[in-house]
Amino acid sequence: MKKRMLAMALLLAMAAAGRAGPLAGPGAGPGAGHEGPTASVETWGKTSDGETVQRFTLKNSHGMVLRVMSVGATITELSVPDAKGQVANVVLGADTFERYQRGYPTPAAIQGRVANRIANATFDLDGQTYKLFANNGPHTLHGGKKGFAAVVWEGEILPPAPGATTTAAVRFTYHSKDGEEHFPGNLTPSVTYTLTADDRLMLTYAATTDKATPVNLTSHAYFNLGGAGSGDILGEQLWIDADRFTPADATLIPTGALAPVKGTPLDFTEGKEDPAQAHTIGSRLAELKPMRTYDHNFVLNSGGKSLALAARLHDPKSGRTLEVLTDQPGLQLYTGDNRHPGLCLEPQHFPDAVHEPAFPNTILRPGETFTSTSIYAFSAK
């Protein structure tokens, strides 16, 4: 798998600086307001197994706030100013760890070892058949019975990269043992959340293995740009830089084909220059029979060859706009249940790639490093 050199360079630069507590410099102390970037950590609870759960908080000078807990490296809050400067949480999340323990339905967690679906919960690799746990009908979804979203990651605050004083970052690392969820290889994934002064949230992924294994990592954050309590996302407008998608069967397993979006409810190519011209999420849901919801993988025009703008989401009421940049070849749009409280824009490799040789490769081998970067850039006017 090709290395994403830009992402890796950034990751290594931050890692070289080592572990740190709250960032030093202007705005680092309590009560400092919006003077500069800050990073802090607190104990947030314990799992049923007695493991300590931490929650990390990053802030920038514009009032943007990111909170991430160590279970699933899950975003619990991402507060962003609107056009009037009013700050609201734009990612569905809960205020207490106890709420997640009771089964919070939309956690913004990291999905893996393989995000999305593997058909029939099995795959062949290097002459061996691996039988996985079927947790989505006959298929494996988001890593199996206990994927990366349900485990405790080790978090550490990172100081700014050399020469950068306007970012705050936290890195989460997990050690997935050989045979975990019946996947081969000892895999060590990490994800670094970096909050910048220009209201960008960057997710930088990395992973190494000692045995060939499939890897597909993504964030399952549900966005609602209107903010918590603002209602559904049906009026938000979406543009996606994708002329094709991967058609799937009734169980959402791709057929292997790449089909044009033109003439279908999946055509979100309008509104590239003007967000106000983009289709709203709710305008064509009735055409999506029988589900009446989006749960589709888009083939990005960039091909996953470099970091590029993949999608733009705009909320006309609050004035907030979210741009998603990624170096991944696909983007999963998921609008959830019939209440539509939020939507997911998940940069990823294609679903069931282990069974489709023509799809971009998801097999990571010893000596290689998987790296990927996705950026969520916010603005308001």
What is the chain's mean pLDDT, rounded? Answer: 91
Give bridge partners of residue 71 from the DSSP assignment: 152
How far apart, in Å, are the Cα atoms of 182 and each of 130, 145, 213, 214? 7, 10, 11, 12
Give the range among 12-26, 34-48, 321-335 with minimum mean pLDDT: 12-26
Domain ranges of the chain: 5-380
Give bridge partners of residue 213 from the DSSP assignment: 364
Q: Is 286 helix (H, G, I), strand (E, B) or coil?
A: helix
Read off the pLDDT of residues 109-147 as tens digits, 9 standing for 90 and up.
999 999 999 999 999 999 999 999 999 999 999 999 999
> What are the residues whose beta carbons fall under 8 Å from the beta carbon of 329, sequence distance 6 or more?
299, 300, 302, 303, 304, 349, 350, 360
What burial letters (b/e) apply to 208-218, b meaning 16+ CB within 10 Å?
bbeeebbbbbb
Dihedral sign of CA atoms 136, 139, 140, 144 in order:
positive
Backbone angles phi, psi at 100, to 5 degrees: -70, -40
Amino acid letter for position 322: L
8 A C-beta contact, residue 44 and residue 242 = no
Confidence of residue 290 (pLDDT cuts 50, 70, 90): confident
pLDDT at position 338: 86
Q: 290 is written with which tokens?
A: 């029988």
How far apart, in Å, are the Cα atoms of 265 and each of 260, 275, 292, 295, 339? 11, 18, 11, 12, 19
Comparing CA positions, the residue from 368, 371, 365, 361 lying closest to residue 211 is: 365
pLDDT at position 34: 55
Please state, in angstroms and rounded to a whole number, the distance separating the CA atoms of residues 239 and 75.
Answer: 24
Report, as an integer, the average pLDDT of 326-349.
96
- The CATH T-level fold of domain 5-380 is Beta-galactosidase; Chain A, domain 5 (2.70.98)
What burial letters (b/e) apply to 277-288, b meaning 16+ CB within 10 Å?
ebbebeebbeeb
pLDDT at 23 over 70: no
Report, as an integer, the average pLDDT of 273-281.
94
pTM reported for the whole predicted model: 0.91
Give bridge partners of residue 206 from the DSSP assignment: 190, 371
Please state, in angstroms and rounded to a whole number, the distance separating the CA atoms of residues 284 and 378.
Answer: 26
Please state, in angstroms and rounded to a whole number, the distance separating the CA atoms of residues 192 and 186.
Answer: 20
Amino acid letter for position 279: H
Read off the pLDDT of residues 153-207 as tens digits, 9 standing for 90 and up.
999 999 876 766 678 999 999 999 999 999 999 999 999 999 999 999 999 999 9
Active site residues: 220, 346
How far apart, in Å, are the Cα atoms of 46 and each of 41, 55, 165, 175, 182? 15, 11, 34, 19, 27
pLDDT at position 28: 33
Backbone angles phi, psi at 37, to 5 degrees: -70, 140
Please state, in angstroms and rounded to a whole number, the distance separating the CA atoms of residues 268 and 378.
Answer: 20
What burial letters (b/e) apply to 140-176, b meaning 16+ CB within 10 Å?
bbbbbeebbbbbbbebbbbbbbeebeebbbbbbebeb
Give the range among 10-14, 100-104, 192-196 with minimum mean pLDDT: 10-14
Cα 124 off chain centre by: 27
Q: What percent of the chain has pLDDT over 90?
A: 85
